Amino acid sequence: MNSTPALDPPRARPRLLAALRRNAVGYLFLLPALLAFATFSWYPIARGFIISFQKYDLVKGAEWVGWSNFEFVLNDPLVPIAWRNTLQFTALALLIGYLLPVALAILVNEMKRGKSYFRLAYYLPVILPPMVSVLLWKWFYDMDTGLFNAILQAIGLPTQRWLFDRNLVMLCLVVLSTWANAGGTMLLYLAALQGVPSHLYEAAEIDGAGLWRRLWHITLPQIRGVMLILLVLQIIGTMQLFTEPFVMTDGGPANATLSVVMLLYRYGFRFYNFGAAAALGLILFFVLVAFSILYLWLTRRVSQSQ
């Protein structure tokens, strides 16, 4: 008995090729942005990685030196000082500037009148260019003609050597950074608060929950995801401290405000040791990547345990 041979199933079209054909027009529109991103982001990262293993001279060109740049950086006595100052600034910025935007957002969200005015007032410092903000606060901190010492003199208190006192200068930079950046973060928290379901507050009020209980059991848990993300972003941002000490103190007094990125700048643009600058930048990059991975792993463990 002859059996009819089974027909071969049609060959499946590769999914990747089908997706490319289906979205070809969209990819063409994305191509300019991808090229710009690759040119100004991916290429500098790859180039910096290569230069960290080279002795780079603008005239003579590059010469491979292996791990010599990393050995130079790790043996530089200024590197531990720069890391200590950077970590100190990060800790103070978290202590002062992390919860302040949350508090401001909650206060503005609870207001019945004037909410638009306070949103604008808190956001105005973010609109100013960073250099303008730094120069403005540099005048505030001036020992002779500064605003803060004028206020202290007016109320009969002794004046301070704000930017020349090792015990005060880092706190001065943190206050400036918080003032300049808290408004933008506050708006993000305010947007998150707008998404909190109102029926949760209504149910809590019916149960007799006061302001603090509503804050602790409803508000903070509902915006916890935004707070965790902004915590990571703030740590990454503060670890790249540069503009404030560069303009206000030039790393002084006595290297008390010398940051890692500022030392990287000195390597590259004062001493023209581009290999050491790239090596220090690569070390900072891996430190921040390791922190981000560890933080995401810990938050995932905590969320799974709840």
In this predicted structure, what is the pLDDT of residue 147? 92
How high is the mean pLDDT of the chain? 86
- Inform me whether the pLDDT recorded for 223 exceeds 70: yes
In this predicted structure, what is the pLDDT of residue 7? 46
Total domains in the chain come to 1
Residue where the block lists tokens 């790249």: 240
The per-residue pLDDT for range 27-82, each reduced to its tens digit, is: 888 888 889 988 988 898 898 899 999 887 777 778 888 899 999 999 999 999 99
Higher pLDDT, 295 or 254: 254
Do the beta carbons of residue 115 and residue 169 sit within 8 Å? no
- Inform me whether the pLDDT recorded for 123 exceeds 50: yes
The per-residue pLDDT for range 12-32, each reduced to its tens digit, is: 456 777 777 777 778 888 888
Where do the H-state alpha helices sit in the chain?
A: 15-22, 24-37, 43-51, 68-75, 78-97, 99-110, 115-127, 130-140, 147-154, 169-194, 198-206, 211-214, 220-222, 224-238, 243-248, 260-269, 274-305
In this predicted structure, what is the pLDDT of residue 14? 66
In this predicted structure, what is the pLDDT of residue 306? 55
CATH of the domain at 297: 1.10.3720.10
Residue 170 is part of which domain span? 78-305
Rg (CA), the chain: 27
Encode burial over 112-136: b for 16+ CB neighbours within 10 A, e otherwise: eeeeeebbeebeebbeeebeebbee
Residue 63: inside a domain, yes or no? Answer: no
Residue 69: inside a domain, yes or no? Answer: no
Cα(157)–Cα(298) distance, rounded to whole angstroms?
47
Residue 42: inside a domain, yes or no? Answer: no
Q: Report residue 302's pLDDT band, with 50, 70 and 90 as the boundaries.
A: low
In this predicted structure, what is the pLDDT of residue 29? 86
Amino acid at 112: K
- Inform me whether the pLDDT recorded for 1 exceeds 70: no
Residue 110: inside a domain, yes or no? Answer: yes
Residue 7: inside a domain, yes or no? Answer: no
Q: Report residue 9's pLDDT band, with 50, 70 and 90 as the boundaries.
A: very low
Residue 45: inside a domain, yes or no? Answer: no
In this predicted structure, what is the pLDDT of residue 241? 92
Instruction: Return the structure tokens found at 46.
Output: 């790859």
The per-residue pLDDT for range 171-219, each reduced to its tens digit, is: 999 999 999 999 999 999 998 888 888 878 778 777 777 778 888 888 8
